[in-house]
Structure 1
Amino acid sequence: MLAMNKFRILGITAITIAATILVTSCKDKKSTGWEYAPNMYEHIAYDPDQKNPNFKDGKTAQVPPAGTIPLGFTRFDYPNTRDGYEKASGEVQNPLHNTPANFQEGEVLFSHFCSPCHGATGQGDGTVVAHGFPAPPSYSKGQSSRGGAMKDLTDGKIYHTITYGVNAMGSYASQLSPEERWKVVMYVHHLQTL
């Protein structure tokens, strides 16, 4: 008799659970059911394109205050002009020490980003030249399009060119951090002596 009561209790429990599942699943077709962590779906913060009553202009996406610098950003206060290029030549020096580790990293960065055009040894014989693009000048023998020998380029001129680009060469500021650019400058000075 005790075993029969256990089976009866288990049966009633199973029928109750099944009936509950059946009733709740057929209730509302548009309902998504219970939400676990509803803040993941209905966030409190405003979206950047939403109106925001917390600001005078009603915009959520605000322009940063004048003169602020993003975290981790390094300023380069030389404009992308001929005068900025010449000013950088006289005032900008490589802040990194010429260590074997920096030199090796500069070599790797040069081979990844610069050698397709400039060639592995900086002679302007990269793979893109073989596909019909104009050859950049050789670091050791060529003449700069801005005047002067490529072998005489200073830290500031090379850094300025990597940052802004020149002629067919685009800017590499988005691909190389300021520290990486200085390491490339270090390696380019080595190529100027070849």
Structure 2
Amino acid sequence: MKKLSLAITLLLAPTFAQAWPWSQDMVNQVSIKPQESVDAANPGMAQFPKRSQPVAGTTVNVKDLDAAKKMANPIAADEASVAKGRRLYEIYCTPCHGKSGAGDGLVGTKLPYKPWNLTSSNDVHPWDSKDYPDGYIFGVMSLGLAVMPSYANDLTATERWHVVNYIRKVMQKGPAVTAAAQSK
């Protein structure tokens, strides 16, 4: 009987040990939790400093594709922009759209809908800049479309414009429509 009592006590001992005060020390420490004010009299998230400014190129709020169509490309389609766009395209777009941009990437072939052919050699989307301005391509990258996810969290606004310049100049072999050209 003593052996049975000892065995039960040893089996239950860890259960009782969890009730000791030291088992909760990490949770109840003095610290500031995320979005918690340091001032108990003014609870809530701390305000941004009065003269703070958002970092340029980090975010662009796009309501929908119609609003995006009206956006002008602020990045000149020079060699540096196209080179940056090529590098980013190869990282983010090639899996679905393929290296050539024809929608034949390794991942794209497994999707229920074939990714858009981004080249000028297709009948479905002729990529006329009046129907599909640079802002539209930017908006699709920002918001996503059908099975394409949004890349707004992965690419900064500036990086997305570089990709637009690469698609326009290299894949579609035409001029990217810059802000100056759109305003004429």
Task: Give the TM-score of the pair, scaled to structure 2.
Answer: 0.62
Give RMSD over aligned pairs.
Answer: 3.0
Matched, 1:105 2:80: no
The corresponding residue for 1:127 is 106
Q: Residues 180 and 49 (structure 1 numbering): CA distance in 2 closer, same or farther, change over 3 Å?
A: closer
The corresponding residue for 1:18 is none
Aligned residues: 137
The corresponding residue for 1:175 is 154
> Which one-letter code corresponds to 1:176 in the other structure?
L
The corresponding residue for 2:127 is 151
Residues 18-72 of structure 1: CA deviation (Å, up to 9, x unaligned): xxxxxxxxxxxxxxxxxxxxxxxxxxx952259757244534x44659xx86444
Seq. identity, %: 28
> Which one-letter code corresponds to 2:172 in the other structure?
Q
Say whether the 8 Å CA contact 1:96–1:182 is kept in structure 2. yes
Q: Which has the larger radius of gyration?
A: 1
> Which one-letter code corresponds to 1:135 in the other structure?
K
The corresponding residue for 1:137 is 116
> Which one-letter code corresponds to 1:58 in the other structure?
P
Whichever structure has more helix as a proportion of its residues is 1
The corresponding residue for 1:76 is 60
> Which one-letter code corresponds to 2:62 in the other structure?
Y
Structure 1 alignment gaps of length 5 or more: 1-44, 144-148
The CA distance in 1 between the partners of 2:47 and 2:35, in whole Å, is 15
**How far apart are 1:175 and its partner, in Å?**
1.2
Q: Residues 161 and 142 (structure 1 numbering): CA distance in 2 closer, same or farther, change over 3 Å?
A: farther
The corresponding residue for 2:167 is 188
Task: Give the TM-score of the pair, scaled to structure 1.
Answer: 0.59
The corresponding residue for 1:8 is none
The CA distance in 2 between the partners of 1:55 and 1:185, in whole Å, is 48
Say whether the 8 Å CA contact 1:151–1:193 is kept in structure 2. no
Moved >6 Å (runs of 4+): none
